[in-house]
A and B are shown apart, each in its own frame.
Chain A
Amino acid sequence: MTTPENDEPSPNNGDLAMEITSIQPRLYGFILKRLADREYTLEVLQRTNLVLCRKANEFQKGSSFTAWAFTIAKFQIMAWRKDEGRNRLVFTEDVYALLDRSSADEADSVDRRIPVLKGCLNRLRQDERELIQQRYRDGLSIEALAGNLQYSIDAIGMRLLRIRKKLGTCIRLNLNTEGQHER
């Protein structure tokens, strides 16, 4: 009754839906690095999600879902750059190629950062943490933050830059010490 081509939910679609949902932030990050623009990233993320759903039955159970999803995302990015996005590219072809990394290395780099970052977030000053939470957890735009806090957009941008730097330093330090422990 159910052919592989049609869109009938198969028994595994519930799990797939969940996998797709939980991987959204990672896919978003993966695409953003390559397109350097939030709107275009959401556009390509949507296409990637569609393909992930459509190709669900091609996913090999037991293999890495992240790796599979990243591969599909990479193809979608390349297609977008050649076609609809052609006139909207931030990165030139040269830079795009130079920035490319192996998906596995990239996934691993982010995987290692998540637990370290959690610790670093706890070390932020209260007001810094609140700003990061409003920006990332609540998904408020910099315009909305500026409105709420009655600062200019530039001032909020500078505060976020400083906090990102602080987190970046903290992550770098802790990733290094972690590496030393392993040795």
Chain B
Amino acid sequence: MSADPDTLEELEHLVSKMLEQTLSQKEKARLNELLLDSKAARALYHEILDNHEALCSIYPGEVFNSALETENEIIRPEPPRVTAPLARFPSLPMIASAAAIAIAFITAFAFLNPKEDAQNTASNSNQSSDTVARLIASVDAVWQDAAPAPGSSLPPGSYSLEQGSADLKFDEGARITLRGPARFNLKSANHLHLLSGKMVAYIPEDALGFAVTTPQSEIVDLGTEFGLDVVADGRTDIHVMDGLVEVYSRNASSDTEKILQTGIKIEEGQARRLESADALRLQDIPFFTREQILGNRRFENLGLSLLRGSVKVRNDFATQDIYETISEQSRIEVIPESEGVLLEQDAVVTFTEPGKYRFFGPTGKTIPAGTKVDSFLLHFRSDEMKIIRGVIKFDRPILGLICESDQLAATDALVGLASVDYPSASYSFRSLEPHNYKQVSNLPAYDTGGGLSADEVTLSQDMTTLGLHVNVIPNEGMDQLRVLVLSKD
């Protein structure tokens, strides 16, 4: 029962190792011993683990990344082992390929968007049997053919991202952000062929051996992060942000190519250009950072940590988009607005607390003056009669939701985009419906998906996650919702 400081010190060490999954058998036995003998040790164990749980709640990466990593293993019980084209750097065994967690997790999301799942399956008939990567998120993405939804699995094949950016996570662990226009081919879970466009690859240690090929080169990452800018049949620029990269050429007709056949190494902070106008040439060029290659408005900078369902992030929103519905636009668009706006007076909002809301109307809620906020406009239009569903998780707490036309109008000038002419306050259809119970009784059951039904908004207990079921009149209606989150400044 003693609270011997050495014992507690030892316990802290062991628990820390446990959290990092580096505990040996011997240490496990010792942990048992300490916890069995000392009440103080047990109290400290609870304290550390409660703190860990709190930390996981604030930053749920450990939980959700593990889920994403293993999702595919469930869909296909025996993932086909794709042989890397470059056997020189075989992948290290996947570290602790965590036991499949995500079945129920996926099931849960499937409820959210059964229709979309059906569509995805239809467009990629071999999707479930053979996928190599997952689309984690996209910003302003316009795809030439099939437009994958965030969260969907991608089969091998050719893709053309005409504009915007897309974040992919390969099944073998590599994370790639592409900036359109980009044409690429997903060859396998550890091989991407980039025909043209810009991208940055982040390769965690357990995905080492991931290969990117371009028309001019083969690039093997020896650890961490590099960027590419490829002009088809012209040149490949390689910028190494972190770690070390090796570049090879497949042919050996010129001197440069002979050098490249054995490989050149490019180190952190260096950049090289491979030109193939006539013969292949190699030259030093100024180094670009990740931001310089990808631009600033990327998913990771937007303050969003998870998107599910029919959700699309847009940075190119313009006035006409408020009034026009383009085909296949049955989705929720997330439009990042102003950041770091200091409220000079109390801002009138609709909701400030966790809960599920089906009725909208003035609530008297406010966000106090002096608060600094970032704003996101959510915009819903539809070209068919169906409920649009989505989940959006922010990486900072939501302070308030604005669902009312007059409240939207009152905040347009303050937090809206300067380039957009927002509808005037009299445009009352802009808000979510219904506003009272009477309106509800005139509506068909809300899950029919076919008629005008009640909008529904759910705010999670921790105020970071927003669930949406919205429904607008096809091609005519337009609903908007503004989310104010605590500014990151």
**Residues of A at under 8 Å CB distance from B?**
9, 11, 13-22, 24-26, 28-30, 32-33, 36-40, 42-43, 45-46, 48-53, 66, 90-92, 94-95, 98-99, 101, 106, 109-110, 113-114, 117-118, 121, 132-133, 135-144, 146-148, 153, 157, 160-161, 164-165, 167-168, 171-172
Q: Is the CB of A113 within 8 A of B206?
A: no
Known contacts A138-B61, A160-B20; A148 and B224 CB within 8 A of each other: yes
Of the four ranges (under 10, 10 to 19, 20 to 34, 35 or more), the interface on chain B belongs to 35 or more
Q: Is the CB of A118 within 8 A of B104?
A: no
- Residues of B287-301 at the interface with A, using a CB-CB cut-off of 8 Å, are none
Instruction: Write out, one digit per residue, whether chain B residues 329-363 have a CB within 8 A of any chain A CB (1) or not (0).
Output: 00000000000000000000000000010000000
Q: Is the CB of B61 within 8 A of A161?
A: no
**Residues of B at under 8 Å CB distance from A?**
12-13, 16-23, 28, 31-32, 35-36, 42, 45-67, 70, 95-96, 98-105, 107-109, 111-112, 114, 204-206, 223-224, 242-243, 305, 308, 356, 389, 391, 395, 445-447, 456, 458, 460-462, 464-465, 467, 469
Residue of B nearest to A19 (CB): B460
Say which residue of A17, A51, A110 sits within 8 Å of B53 (CB atoms): A110
Q: Is the CB of B111 within 8 A of A17?
A: yes
Q: Is the CB of B61 within 8 A of A139?
A: yes
Residue of B nearest to A138 (CB): B61
- 18 of the cross-chain contacts (CB-CB < 8 Å) are A17-B111, A18-B391, A20-B108, A29-B49, A29-B50, A29-B53, A36-B28, A38-B66, A38-B96, A39-B96, A49-B101, A49-B108, A51-B104, A114-B58, A133-B59, A140-B204, A142-B22, A168-B48
Q: Is the CB of A15 within 8 A of B57?
A: no
Q: Is the CB of A113 within 8 A of B51?
A: yes
**Across-interface contacts of B61 in A (CB, < 8 A):** 136-140
Give complex CA distance A42, B96 in Å: 11
Give complex CA distance A25, B65 in Å: 11
Residue of B nearest to A11 (CB): B447
Say which residue of A38, A101, A160 sits within 8 Å of B98 (CB atoms): A38
Q: Is the CB of B460 within 8 A of A22?
A: yes
Known A110-B54, A147-B204, A161-B13; further 17 A-B contacts with Cβ < 8 A: A11-B445, A20-B105, A28-B53, A37-B21, A38-B98, A42-B70, A42-B99, A51-B104, A90-B32, A99-B46, A101-B46, A106-B46, A132-B55, A136-B55, A147-B224, A164-B16, A167-B51
**Across-interface contacts of A138 in B (CB, < 8 A):** 61, 65
Q: Is the CB of B50 within 8 A of A99?
A: no
Say which residue of A19, A43, A94 sits within 8 Å of B101 (CB atoms): A43
Q: Is the CB of B104 within 8 A of A49?
A: yes
